[in-house]
Amino acid sequence: MATQISRDLAQSGPAHADPLPPVKRDTLLDAFRTTRSLSMTLADPLSTEDMVIQTMPDVSPTKWHMAHTTWFFETFLLKPNVTEYRPFHDAFEYLFNSYYNAVGAQFPRPERGLLSRPTVGEIEDYRRHVDAAMERLITDSSDDLWTQIAPLIELGVHHEQQHQELTLTDIKHVLSWNPLKPAAYGVKPKVFRKSAPLNFINFEGGIFKIGHEGTAFAFDCEGPRHDQLVRPFALANRPVTNGEYLEFIEDGGYRTPHLWLSDGWADLKEGGWQAPLYWSEQDGEWTEFTLHGAKKLNPHLPVTHVSFYEAAAFAAWTGARLPSEAELELAARSQDVAGNFLTTEHLHPSPVETNDNNKLLQIYGDVWEWSQSAYSPYPGFCAAEGAVGEYNGKFMSGQLVLKGGSCATPPGHMRPTYRNFFPPAARWQFSGIRLAKDI
């Protein structure tokens, strides 16, 4: 399976916004095919029973992700632009609409796992039906129509990449409930590398341009580019490790209220948090559930599956703080967009060894890094008209920004300006911690 992931993604490159050159049509067709193929590759090792379970409201069954990403292309591209197109099933518009109120009503999100029908096989037929129609649309549309639809197709490709990561994080949560602790993607070799020593790297302050600009693809929430004052700061050279976080636990971090934000302490008490999600302790031995099964806790791996509240409490315990969104973006600009993404055939964070303590490590991949910044609109932001305008803007309340991507993020999907966002109590994503300090 992992070899097939690498083959699929190696053929894919970043998409671009300009739909006019003829080669662009071929490039986007290739990106569409590659992305659609990868979604099925991720589902291949799973049983039908695996793909229908929902273990909490934030998790969706694998088959729902397969259908919803297909619904996007059918709803926003085929139905409005292809007169002869016939929907695969009239009820699918209701069943697989996620949150687009302008499209219509949606089946309740917390109840997606209650649906045994349509079957996984029917959803695979649905994907083939829509894929064939989409390929005809991409290949045969007039130049005028292509100019209008190419940006939306590109959005659909990046939307599906987001759901590929959600497919992995969601199935991990599903399988973690099983006492057998099954491996979704096989047993991987042990990683014996040690993490680099923790060190802080200084960055100058000033007024910087923050946000996306140019012709390469970006989501609407990444702009407009704007001036922002950033004070001088120091950023840790790498993410916090399991071993460092274990010291926090053993020092009573989960029993010390003054380290925690008030809402975080309430969530800790209500949820019974004692460690990151997927950690288990028995007779003094810690294990961690992964997509490759339960493993002995490796102290050198980046800690993951922690909430913003846990990240902030850990930072307070160390005497540091969490970085701002702007600080993480500025630091990421100095690095190539490369790291432990989904192509590495290892669907878990890994340590990095280096002899250079002043080198910024793992700013991309491995774990999403919590920032202290609220997910809010940049100055001048305006949501797009129509249903597509509901993609990002409607969630700009009660969320925190995460940066950098993770081991489950498809490559070609990440950039310095990317703004992921989750509520502060979320733990099931590959979310980790990078410390910052004022200087």
- What does 210-253 look like in DSSP terms, one character per residue? ES--SSB---GGG-S-EEEEE--EEEESSPPBHHHHHHHHHTTG
Q: Domain ends where: 142, 176, 210?
A: 176
Whether the Cβ atoms of residue 9 and residue 342 lie closer than 8 Å to each other = yes
Question: Over 60: is that where the pLDDT of 11 sits?
Answer: no
Q: For position 174, what pLDDT does the model report?
A: 98
Question: Over 80: is that where the pLDDT of 17 sits?
Answer: no
Question: Over 70: is that where the pLDDT of 18 sits?
Answer: no
CATH of the domain at 311: 3.90.1580.10
Question: Over 60: is that where the pLDDT of 19 sits?
Answer: no
Q: Domain ends where: 140, 160, 176?
A: 176
Question: Are 144 and 205 members of one domain?
Answer: no
pLDDT above 90 covers what percent of the chain?
Answer: 84
Strand partners, 401: 421
For 92, 114, 356, 421, the CA distances from 82, given in Å and listed in that order, are 18, 33, 56, 34
Cis peptide before 416 (omega within 30 of 0): no
Is residue 257 one of the residues assigned to a domain? yes
How many domains is the chain partitioned into structurally? 2
Give 9's pLDDT tier (boundaries 50, 70, 90): very low
Question: Are 277 and 343 members of one domain?
Answer: yes
Question: Over 80: is that where the pLDDT of 191 sits?
Answer: no
Question: In terms of pLDDT, which residue wins out, 134 or 344?
Answer: 134
**In this predicted model, what pLDDT tens digit does every residue of 129-181 receive, in sequence order?**
999 999 999 999 999 999 999 999 999 999 999 999 999 999 999 999 999 99
Query: Which residues have a Cβ under 8 Å from the Cβ of 86 and sit 6 or more positions away?
Result: none
Question: Are 132 and 208 members of one domain?
Answer: no
Q: For position 344, what pLDDT does the model report?
A: 60
CATH of the domain at 111: 1.20.120
Q: Residue 171 corresponds to which tokens in the numbers above?
A: 């199935």
Question: Are 172 and 206 members of one domain?
Answer: no
Whether the Cβ atoms of residue 106 and residue 99 lie closer than 8 Å to each other = yes
Question: Are 231 and 146 members of one domain?
Answer: no
Is residue 188 one of the residues assigned to a domain? no
**In this predicted model, what pLDDT tens digit does every residue of 76-125 receive, in sequence order?**
999 999 999 999 999 999 999 999 998 999 999 999 999 999 999 999 99
Average pLDDT over residues 255-269: 98
Q: Which domain holds residue 397?
A: 200-438
Question: Are 114 and 222 members of one domain?
Answer: no
Question: Are 234 and 267 members of one domain?
Answer: yes
Average pLDDT over residues 277-304: 95
Phi, psi (degrees; rounded to nearest 5) at 371: -105, 170
Question: Are 167 and 222 members of one domain?
Answer: no
Out of 125-134, 188-197, 289-298, 409-418, which region has the weakest mean confidence (pLDDT)? 188-197
Q: Residue 55 corresponds to which tokens in the numbers above?
A: 């273990």
Q: For position 21, what pLDDT does the model report?
A: 44
pLDDT above 70 covers what percent of the chain?
Answer: 93
Cα–Cα dist 403/325, whole Å = 7
Q: For position 15, what pLDDT does the model report?
A: 37
Q: For position 24, what pLDDT does the model report?
A: 86
Q: Residue 391 corresponds to which tokens in the numbers above?
A: 């993609």
Give 247's pLDDT tier (boundaries 50, 70, 90): very high
Q: For position 290, what pLDDT does the model report?
A: 96
Q: Residue 243 corresponds to which tokens in the numbers above?
A: 């071993």
**What average pLDDT is seen over the chain?**
92
Average pLDDT over residues 178-204: 87
Question: Over 80: is that where the pLDDT of 356 sits?
Answer: no
Phi, psi (degrees; rounded to nearest 5) at 206: 150, -170
Question: Over 80: is that where the pLDDT of 426 sits?
Answer: yes
Question: Over 80: is that where the pLDDT of 386 sits?
Answer: no
Is residue 269 one of the residues assigned to a domain? yes
Give 189's pLDDT tier (boundaries 50, 70, 90): low
Question: Are 171 and 220 members of one domain?
Answer: no
Q: Residue 180 corresponds to which tokens in the numbers above?
A: 């057998």
Is residue 190 one of the residues assigned to a domain? no
Indicate the pTM of the whole model. 0.93
Give 190's pLDDT tier (boundaries 50, 70, 90): low
Angle subtended by helix axes 2-10 and 22-43, to nearest 10: 170
Query: Which residues have a Cβ under 8 Å from the Cβ of 24 and sit 6 or more positions away?
Result: 16, 18, 150
Is residue 195 one of the residues assigned to a domain? no
Question: Are 153 and 50 members of one domain?
Answer: yes
Whether the Cβ atoms of residue 76 and residue 134 lie closer than 8 Å to each other = no
Number of other CB atoms surrounding residue 284 within 10 Å:
5
